[in-house]
Structure 1
Amino acid sequence: MNFDIKRSVSLYSYQEEFYLGKMNLEDCIREVSRTGATGIELLPEQMIDEFPVITPEFKEKWFGWMEKYQVEPTCYDAFLENHIYKNRRCTLKEQIQMMERDIKLAHELGFKTLRTLVSTPMEVIEGSLACASDQNIKICLEVHSPFSLNSGWADGYMEMILRTGTENFGFMPDFGIFCKSVPDVLRDQARRRGVSEEVIKAVDEAFAQRVEKGFVKIKYDLNLGKANKEYRIANGEPQLLEKVKKLGGGEAALRYAASTFAYTWCDPQDIIDNIRYIYHTHAKFYNTDENYKETSIPIGEVVKAYKKAGYHGYLSSEYEGNTALNDTFDVDSVEQVRRHQEALRNAIEEQVEI
């Protein structure tokens, strides 16, 4: 099947350097261009000083950078803040207005997709569909681990898609749902915090067992905390924590064991089954080594599914390994993104039977 897979970078990838003031917005865009990627995914609340106002001066700079660095806007990352008042939660009307504000800003800056989080209420999404249609924006729900496609959770949103007939809402898979092992940088950090090799081995073996037998997928529930707790129980978190205690593991060991339930392995067939509703992708990664191999995610296997499905869209590198390093080391997000973009390019261009 024909595919047209392009490469993008989420500027979230450079969060360490951006936060420390080592890189500004133009620096981030320039580094994306140097990797050979052609797409820019923006976090406007973090990176636009006057947000939510788009000044004429910023707009001129923004499109000037797009032309200067030969890139284009790919995805606008929205954050629905429904607890902005001390004494109450935002009303449904206020939340829809906030979503519509972001949809219009995305359109103004040249984006075609908008990322929304799993915490966004379905009625807010549905209430914003008319605006998204008018602005030619596709709202993409991020499928972030431990959530997954081909699950009860996704079925709830699929029902809304089919019921409304919308073409302005779909999914944004995150490669964090394709972890075949615990990220090595997380494991190394656990060692620095005093977690024993015996505990690390037990945690690795438990994760491998979940991969082998298949994760129990998360259910659809308006109470995300409840859904996540049930998911963890169903996948054996209580038993693993008890084992860690018996091995003499303290607070750091228990915290490490629990953290591994934030990573999942889903069959890449999920991409093929749902490709009609996938409009953008977070190519999440934690560590790409000098041989251009992501150490926990089989990039080639996942990209092969996108190719087989006939995906037309962007794979957007999203580096999230910095928090497992910055307790001890200087983070080099620029190099990590460069390596990951090369890994994506190799996988996209690889000539394999699909």
Structure 2
Amino acid sequence: MGIKSSVSLYSLQYQYLRGNMDLEQIVDYVMGLGADGIELLPDQMLKGTPTPSEETYAAWDKIIEKHHPGLACDDIFLNTNLYSNRTLTKRECVDLIKKEIVMAHRLGFKVIRLVSMVPAWILEPCLETAEKYGVSLCIEIHGGLGFGVPKTEEFLEEMIRLDSPYIGIVPDTSIFCRRPPRVVDEYCMDIYGTNPDLVKYVNDVFASGKDTFHIRLENNGQNPEMDKYIKDPAKDMFYASNCDGYENVPVSVMEPFAKYIQHFHFKLYEMTEEGLEYSMNYEEVIKFLHEHNYNGYVSTEYEGNRWVKPGGYIPEKEQVAAHQKLIQSLIKKYEG
């Protein structure tokens, strides 16, 4: 089947949260955009996860039977802080992931996205269950937690050691930001009063082909040049630390791990009037996936919604629609 388009329903979370659309209406909307599939966060839209009631499962089955979406990915979290006085034990963590695998299988998903920083030791004790239910466990490679970060590298090393088709990765295009998201710049300057010179410095770093995250990573967590522009911590520190969530690395960093890619997050911060995303060049990613015979979904994940100023209109539906139009055109260009 090659490269297919999907939408993370997380992209329309405010439509759901505010009661503008229910789960079925969201699925119907996404499929009406011509997407091939959907990506789900059960914690957000399915009551009772990871052990939903039969009534919840029946409602889900009805939606799937009616709208026939491809089931791209099930996004889960390892909620180690369920109790106020302690974190979960390793046994509890393993048991929780196993429940998530069973639920993913029952929902019809074959890929689970493990959120960044899920420990690598979770893989081996859960692998037998993953194989039994035909569900892959894939870590998200996200901006600020990308290739070269110790925790990420631990997971990749364990993935390679186990070398199973049921263990893989979900890269996120936040590691391929060619410019910082403009909506973040504007939000922080308007809401927090962030120093415009700090914003300019960060943009200049990206324009030079670098990013502030790797400057810190390569200098023991320090960036004296950036610190010069932090005049008021209350106004500037949030922006400065948030910028470490965007990386500016070449797509070739995926080369050693291409065979392990089982899903892909196409992060979206802002679609422009020209029909392009402001910060990222998706074509270089689609081209890479095409050249490596990728057979899976690339999923719209809109996060510009969190950078809308208080009281402002949140254009989730419009942004997702424009993004899908772009993605689908690029897939057609390379896949035919």
When normalised by structure 1's length, the TM-score is: 0.87
Identify the residue that residue 139 of structure 1 maps to in structure 2: 137
Deviation (angstroms), 1:267: 0.9
Q: Would you say the 8 A contact 1:178–1:297 is kept in 2?
A: yes
* 1:290 is the counterpart of 2:288: no
1:13 maps to a residue whose letter is S
Distance 1:233 1:261, change over 3 A: farther
Identify the residue that residue 226 of structure 1 maps to in structure 2: none
The 2-side partners of 1:281 and 1:102 are apart by 20
2:181 maps to a residue whose letter is P
1:168 maps to a residue whose letter is Y
The 1-side partners of 2:211 and 2:102 are apart by 44
* Structure 1 residue ranges, 4+ long, deviating more than 6 angstroms after superposition: none
* 1:242 is the counterpart of 2:225: no
Q: 1:187 aligns with which of 181, 185, 188?
A: 185
Where do 5+ consecutive residues of structure 2 fail to align?
Answer: none
Q: Which range is displaced more, 118-127 or 287-296?
A: 118-127
When normalised by structure 2's length, the TM-score is: 0.91
Q: 1:95 aligns with which of 93, 111, 120?
A: 93
Identify the residue that residue 332 of structure 1 maps to in structure 2: 315
1:119-150 Cα shifts (integer Å, max 9, x gaps)? 22211222111100111000010001112236
The 2-side partners of 1:326 and 1:69 are apart by 34
1:204-263 Cα shifts (integer Å, max 9, x gaps)? 113333x2489639xxxxxxxxxxxx6285575343022333xxx563233223321210
1:106 maps to a residue whose letter is A
1:74 maps to a residue whose letter is A
Identify the residue that residue 227 of structure 1 maps to in structure 2: none
The 1-side partners of 2:105 and 2:211 are apart by 44
Distance 1:342 1:205, change over 3 A: same
Q: Which range is displaced more, 50-59 or 127-136?
A: 50-59
Pairing 1:1-354 to 2, within 5 Å after superposition: 4-149=2-147, 153-193=151-191, 194-209=193-208, 211-212=209-210, 216=214, 231=217, 233-234=219-220, 237-245=223-231, 251-351=234-334
Distance 1:215 1:202, change over 3 A: closer
Q: Classify the secondary structure of the residue corresponding to 1:216.
A: helix
Q: Would you say the 8 A contact 1:232–1:261 is kept in 2?
A: no
Q: Would you say the 8 A contact 1:116–1:140 is kept in 2?
A: yes
Q: Classify the secondary structure of the residue corresponding to 2:4.
A: strand
Q: Would you say the 8 A contact 2:113–2:139 is kept in 1?
A: yes
The 2-side partners of 1:163 and 1:254 are apart by 39
Q: Would you say the 8 A contact 2:269–2:304 is kept in 1?
A: yes
Distance 1:52 1:265, change over 3 A: same
Identify the residue that residue 224 of structure 1 maps to in structure 2: none
1:83-120 Cα shifts (integer Å, max 9, x gaps)? 21222221111110000000000000100000112222
Where do 5+ consecutive residues of structure 1 fail to align?
Answer: 218-229
2:227 maps to a residue whose letter is L
How many positions carry a matched residue from both structures?
334
Q: Which range is displaced more, 34-43 or 324-333?
A: 324-333
Q: Which range is displaced more, 272-281 or 161-170?
A: 161-170
Q: Would you say the 8 A contact 1:80–1:98 is kept in 2?
A: yes
* Cα RMSD (Å): 2.3
Distance 1:231 1:214, change over 3 A: closer
1:63-102 Cα shifts (integer Å, max 9, x gaps)? 2222322312221111111121222221111110000000
Q: Would you say the 8 A contact 1:281–1:314 is kept in 2?
A: yes
Q: Would you say the 8 A contact 1:271–1:309 is kept in 2?
A: no
Distance 1:297 1:164, change over 3 A: same
The 2-side partners of 1:189 and 1:201 are apart by 14
1:34 maps to a residue whose letter is G
Q: Would you say the 8 A contact 2:211–2:247 is kept in 1?
A: no
Q: Classify the secondary structure of the residue corresponding to 2:49.
A: coil
1:289-327 Cα shifts (integer Å, max 9, x gaps)? 232200001111221111111111000110001111142
The 2-side partners of 1:58 and 1:213 are apart by 44
Q: Classify the secondary structure of the residue corresponding to 2:266.
A: strand
Q: Which range is displaced more, 250-259 or 288-297?
A: 250-259
Deviation (angstroms), 1:55: 2.8
Q: Would you say the 8 A contact 1:148–1:266 is kept in 2?
A: no
